[in-house]
Structure 1
Amino acid sequence: MLKKEETVLVLIDIQGKLAQIVDNSEFIIGNIATVVQGAKELQLPVLWLEQYPKGLGHTVETIAQHLTDQSPIEKITFSAYQTEEFVQALEQTGRKKVLLAGIETHICVYQTAADLLANGYVVEVLADCVSSRTATNSEIGLQKMMQLGATITSVEMALFEMQQIAKGDSFKAISRLVK
């Protein structure tokens, strides 16, 4: 089970034109914005990555507007785990459960998940927060991550799993977010 004290949210490359042309783009971007707000409500650390922003552009505003208290980690590697600044930031959280969201499922999300799993992290992929330019590539990416040992979840499932109790201000806030 996900516990908010053990979990970190990792956002991968939700940038520029690519974010607008992935399969089911509007739905995916909306869900990522929701999970970011939920993570903040639950006080989860959020690590935010951008792949070569000079060329691909910056994180879409729908998501970036919820991350104004931090800056993205720039990378040129497909796997975030191959970027030293990310590994250091992840280790500093002290958390071993990683919730993954981003694009593209079959490239950067998949390679990040593979490296995280190989390095002892528990990985849960938010299936409604990942996409690729084609639905087929996204599905293949999810299947390969599951074969490696990643678990598949959704925004609503993950947030309520970490909330654990159906009362209080956090519960009310999360309930509003997912409706």
Structure 2
Amino acid sequence: MSAPVRRLVRPVLFICDLQEKFRNAIHEFPRVVSTTQKLLKASQILDIPVFATTQLRGKLGETCPELALDTPDGVKTKAHADKSAFSMLVPEVQKAFHELGPEKKEVVVVGIEAHICVTQTTLDLLREGHKVYVLADGVSSCNPQEVPIALARLRAEGAIVTTSESFLYECMGDASISEFKGIAGVVKEFNKATKENMQALCKF
């Protein structure tokens, strides 16, 4: 029997604007952070490149510390760019993203706000021909009613609206790949949090 091949061969993680100043403004912000932590742990096991942005960092603060991006014990990003544009595809991110190679990618997007920066990032990625996954348990907005409208629009535009667990298992595609045990461990570790995150973010 031939060795198993991952179902998604070029996954990339985009983390949009999860900053300290938004903590008290965004609906269920800690839930979005929790899902992002789960994806970051999985990214280390599956060797998924990570890109992150902040929106006007000088005014709105750094990326929230519990994500530990670009810290000695955290995940090293390919780009961690500050921006004023709403889309994450600013020149610094574009340059690092294109350095991954010319092949189309499978980009999973988490962060805020669902109807603004997440939407415009997703539309730009789709326009470039990439397959885009938007995680319903990994995005939010100040006004929670904005979220289902944004997700419905992105689905109509061609994005795949799914959940963190579904995405991780689609990345693998086969329980016999070498990384399966590690990912199953992450899923188990976040089992309670995932249920709570789904209940908080996926009820609209």
Same fold by TM (over 0.5)?
Answer: yes
What is the percentage of aligned positions where both structures have the same residue?
A: 32
Partner SS for 1:23: coil
Partner SS for 2:12: strand
1:64 CA displacement: 2.4
* 1:8-157 map, 5 Å: 8-65=12-69, 67-70=74-77, 72-81=80-89, 83-94=90-101, 95-157=104-166
- Structure 1 window deviating more from structure 2 (36-45 vs 166-175): it is 166-175
1:77 CA displacement: 0.4
Rounded Cα–Cα distance in structure 2 between residues aligned with 1:3 and 1:110: 25
1:19 CA displacement: 3.5
By percentage of residues, which structure has more helix?
1
The letter for the 1-side match of 2:30 is E
Partner SS for 1:105: coil
Structure number with greater Rg is 2
Contact 2:8 2:106 in 1 (8 A): no
Contact 1:22 1:132 in 2 (8 A): yes
Partner SS for 2:116: helix
Rounded Cα–Cα distance in structure 2 between residues aligned with 1:110 and 1:149: 12
1:121 CA displacement: 1.5
Q: In structure 2, do the counterparts of structure 1 residues 68 and 39 end up closer, same or farther at CA, with 3 Å as the change threshold?
A: closer
Contact 1:96 1:122 in 2 (8 A): yes
Rounded Cα–Cα distance in structure 2 between residues aligned with 1:89 and 1:130: 23
Contact 1:39 1:159 in 2 (8 A): no
1:5 CA displacement: 2.5
Runs of 5+ consecutive residues of structure 2 not aligned to the other structure: 1-5, 189-204
Runs of 5+ consecutive residues of structure 1 not aligned to the other structure: none
1:4 CA displacement: 4.1
Q: Structure 2 length as normaliser, TM-score? A: 0.80
Q: Which residue of 1 aligns with 2:199?
A: none
- Structure 1 window deviating more from structure 2 (163-172 vs 104-113): it is 163-172
1:90 CA displacement: 1.4
After superposing on structure 2, the runs of 4+ consecutive aligned residues of structure 1 that deviate more than 6 Å are: none
Rounded Cα–Cα distance in structure 2 between residues aligned with 1:50 and 1:100: 14
The letter for the 2-side match of 1:7 is P
Q: In structure 2, do the counterparts of structure 1 residues 55 and 162 end up closer, same or farther at CA, with 3 Å as the change threshold?
A: same
Contact 1:128 1:154 in 2 (8 A): yes
- Structure 1 window deviating more from structure 2 (163-172 vs 144-153): it is 163-172
